[in-house]
Chain A
Amino acid sequence: MGALTSFFFRPPQSVPGTWAIFRWWESRRLAFNAAVLAAGATTVGTLFLIELLAPGRPRLPNLLVILIYAGLANLFYTLGPLADALITRLGGRQVSEVGPMLFRYGFVFAVLLTLLPIPVTALRVFLGIIL
């Protein structure tokens, strides 16, 4: 629990400098990519299995689409430290929790977005079978 807390939170009321903010975000980028990658692998594997139930040949996703998705995920991730540094400079201590909060919501958003095709495709196949 301690490791998770230190991963997703920053010491309260700390006012890190700009470089410290960037270091904080960059030290978490690898884990962010690993989580999105794991979610992506789960999605691809599950979709393949779901498509086996549907009529027709199961399709694997285009590699280019995967690469563009990963590029965009990292591009949007980069907006995190930029917003964090800007908000911390403008608001100081009172808003020091905004950055880690952005990180947590962004992290969950990216993972959920990557997993979203699973329930949507399952629903589509289910409707296709019963209708």
Chain B
Amino acid sequence: MSTALTKFFFRAPYSPAKTGEIIRWWESRRPAYNLAVGAAGLLSYAAITLFELLRFGKDPTLPLGLILVYGILANLFYCLGPVVDTIVMRGWGRDYSEVGPTLFRYGFVFAVGLTLLPLPLLAIRVVLWMVLGV
């Protein structure tokens, strides 16, 4: 498990700086990235729906347009990863081969964290609702 995760989030040190390989490295991880963001989104949406049901007694309508725009933006920003990675590798060489995977890890955590952000905010709202009734 640890090896699979390490392989997913890291790259072999001093790996070749070929543009094609860099793009392949990023693109091979795109489905997993989308899956993680999608799962996080599903979790957030489920929590919001549950809260709205308990608080207002109604099921909120699925914001399909918003979900679509969010998904497109998440993938648009993901595309910046291989671009920056390629520029860094071409400009500064193999000594900076760890920059790309670092960008990937922080970007991955940021995207999933951002998608899960409604959960703690909702928790605060629930506490305010239960304590102050607002």
Contacts and interface: CB of A to CB of B under 8 A. Distances in A.
B64 to A, nearest CB: 19
Interface in B81-118: 106, 109-110, 113-114, 117
Interface residues of B, number: 11
B73 interface: yes
A103 to B, nearest CB: 13
Contacts of B117: 113
A116 to B, nearest CB: 8
A17 to B, nearest CB: 28
A109 B120 contact: no
B73 A109 contact: no
A120 B73 contact: yes
A105 B106 contact: yes
B120 A113 contact: no
B56 interface: no
A119 interface: yes
A108 interface: yes
Contacts of B109: 105, 108-109
A119 B124 CA distance: 28
Contacts of B106: 105, 108
A119 B110 CA distance: 15
A119 B117 CA distance: 19
Contacts of B73: 120, 123
A112 interface: yes
A19 interface: no
A79 to B, nearest CB: 9
Nearest to A120: B73
Contacts of A112: 110
Given A105-B106, A108-B110, A109-B110, 13 more contacts: A72-B121, A76-B120, A105-B109, A105-B113, A108-B106, A108-B109, A109-B109, A109-B113, A109-B114, A113-B114, A113-B117, A116-B114, A120-B73
9 smallest beta-carbon distances between A and B, as pairs: A105-B109, A108-B106, A109-B113, A112-B110, A109-B110, A113-B114, A109-B109, A76-B120, A105-B106
Interface of A: 72, 76, 105, 108-109, 112-113, 116, 119-120, 123
Interface of B: 73, 77, 106, 109-110, 113-114, 117, 120-121, 124
21 contacts: A72-B121, A72-B124, A76-B120, A105-B106, A105-B109, A105-B113, A108-B106, A108-B109, A108-B110, A109-B109, A109-B110, A109-B113, A109-B114, A112-B110, A113-B110, A113-B114, A113-B117, A116-B114, A119-B77, A120-B73, A123-B73
